[in-house]
Amino acid sequence: MDKKFKIPFALAILSIALIGCSSNKVKEVKVKPNPLPKVAQASSLVQVFATNVSATSKEDALRLRLDSDNGVVFVLDPKGEVSAYKGKQRLWESKVTKQGLSSGVEAADGLVVVGNQKGQVFALDQTTGAQKWSAQLSGAVISSALIQSGRVIVVTNDATVYALDEETGQQTWTYKLPNASFSLRGQAAPVSLDPRTILVATSTGYIYAIDSLSGIPRLQRRVAVSEGRSDIQRLIDVDAEPVVAGQYVVTTSFQGQVTVLDLASQRVLWSENSSSINRPEVTDGKVIVSQTDGQVIARDLITGQEIWKNEQLLNRNLSNAVLLGQNLVIGDLDGYLHQIDPNTGTTLGRVKTSGEVRTLRVIDNQLYVSTRKGALSIWQNR
């Protein structure tokens, strides 16, 4: 296994804040979150499902993820359990491992796939929760897998991409990515570009398009550039999944840029300085990014021109932004879900869940929420 240093996101932020301080006297920089902004209306969000699992570490918060397939919701507990729910009814609960689980859930093709920091991957039967197979990989699995074209694609934190046979778990190919010696503790999940191709982002500021059946690389492009002087200032991890929007791929990076790549020409369409570990949202010709400083910025997908900026949520450790119905939803460190007008950036309403919001997803027009405290919930508009 390659030797590398992984640092929690919060530690990286603190270290950056301290760079340049006197060597004789270093003070911890405490940044206060902005107070909650006034809202124009009551939230339209209603909770339709909730459960609690084990909390994750504040210093090393894993971004747990719910998933759903065929109307069934699959839930992971970091202590090593996976459960299935139909509505509010629990269909089954399976103790997968005593070694704990650290990835999100991927559910498709009758399988539920999870992984852990020991490099173990487990595939369960969606109907019964029974284990169908397991595989031992070379590094920790801290992001969700991708099930595509009869393969289970997993990226480990030693920068190796694995393709496992969907039926047996046998390894069909591997691809070794370049690996930064110093990076944030995080790994973007692989995403589908088309039925035959996956996209994988790296801690070195690149994305790769790889044939999911053969493992042959089809595209390699740099999407983040570092201008820092120290190791920490040069961190440019792409820890959020790339977003495919027609012929364009949108990426964000820590201390790097938000970048739009044109697949037709295989050239960068535009790139603007921005620091984010969150997946961008692309809607109605706009790229919307929640940055590490708490700014939420919308840019034109084609030109990169700024359309609006919301600075009301500065230093509130924002989650990714997602579009639910007509509004954006963004979570924060206090468990608030903020609704924002995607056309103007105006904060419209909010509702509270429990714990720092880490991951938001929208599936079938429902909002899937995961928090560091282990509160997992599903919401929808009234």
**Residue-wise DSSP of 58-112:** STT------EEETTEEEEEETTTEEEEEETTEEEEEEE--TT---S--EEETTEE
Are the C-beta atoms of 248 and 301 separated by less than 8 Å?
yes
Gap between the Cα atoms of 327 and 315, Å rounded:
22
The answer to the question of residue 242 being in a domain is: no
Buried b (16+ CB within 10 A) or exposed e, 77-113: bbebbbbbbeeeeebbebebbeebbbbbbbbbeebbb
Q: How far, in Å, CA of 175 to CA of 154, rounded?
A: 11
pLDDT at 339: 97
Contact 189/157 with Cβ under 8 angstroms? no
Phi-psi region of 54 (alpha: psi -120 to 50; beta: other; left: phi over 0): beta
Give the per-residue pLDDT at 60.
62
Q: Which structural domain, as residue segments, surrounds residue 322? A: 33-63+278-382
Q: Does some domain include residue 366?
A: yes
Rounded Cα distance, 141 and 118, in Å: 8
For the chain (382 residues), the mean pLDDT of every run of 10, in chain order, is 52 47 51 90 92 83 85 96 96 97 96 96 98 96 95 94 98 89 69 96 91 96 77 69 96 91 95 94 98 97 98 97 97 97 96 94 97 95 93
| Closest to 200 in 3D by CA, of 227, 184, 219 | 219
Q: Which helix (H) or strand (E) holds 182?
A: strand 182-184
Q: What pLDDT, on the 0 to 100 scale, is given for residue 232?
A: 60
pLDDT at 284: 97
Please check whether residue 220 lies inside any domain of the structure: no
Q: Determine phi and psi for 301, rounding to 5 degrees.
A: -60, -35
Residue 134 inside a domain? The answer is no
How many distinct structural domains can be found in the chain?
1
What is the spatial distance between Cα 212 and Cα 196, in angstroms, rounded to a whole number?
6
| CATH code of the domain in which 323 resides | 2.130.10.10
193 vs 243: CA distance, rounded Å: 9
SS (H, E, C) 309-337: EECCCCCCCCCCEEEECCEEEEECCCCEE
Question: Residue 158 falls within a domain, yes or no?
Answer: no
| Sheet of strand 45-52, all strands in order from the earlier edge strand to the far edge | 45-52, 375-381, 366-371, 357-363
- Whole-angstrom distance, CA of residue 62 vs CA of residue 47: 23
Distance between CA atoms of residues 348 and 365, nearest Å? 19
Cβ–Cβ contacts within 10 Å for residue 6, how many?
17
Burial tier of 47 (Cβ tally within 10 Å: 0-12, 13-18, 19+): middle
Residue 131, phi then psi, degrees to nearest 5: -75, 130
Query: What's the N-to-C CA distance of the chain in angstroms?
Result: 50
DSSP at 18: H
Q: Which amino acid is at 191?
A: V
> Does residue 313 belong to any structural domain of this protein?
yes
Query: pTM for the full model?
Result: 0.91
Q: Is residue 74 part of a domain?
A: no
Specify the DSSP class assigned to residue 229.
S
346 exposure class (CB count in 10 Å sphere: 0-12, 13-18, 19+): middle
- Bridge partners (DSSP) listed for residue 209: 199, 219
C-alpha distances in angstroms, 106 versus 113, 201, 226? 5, 18, 32
Does any domain span residue 285?
yes
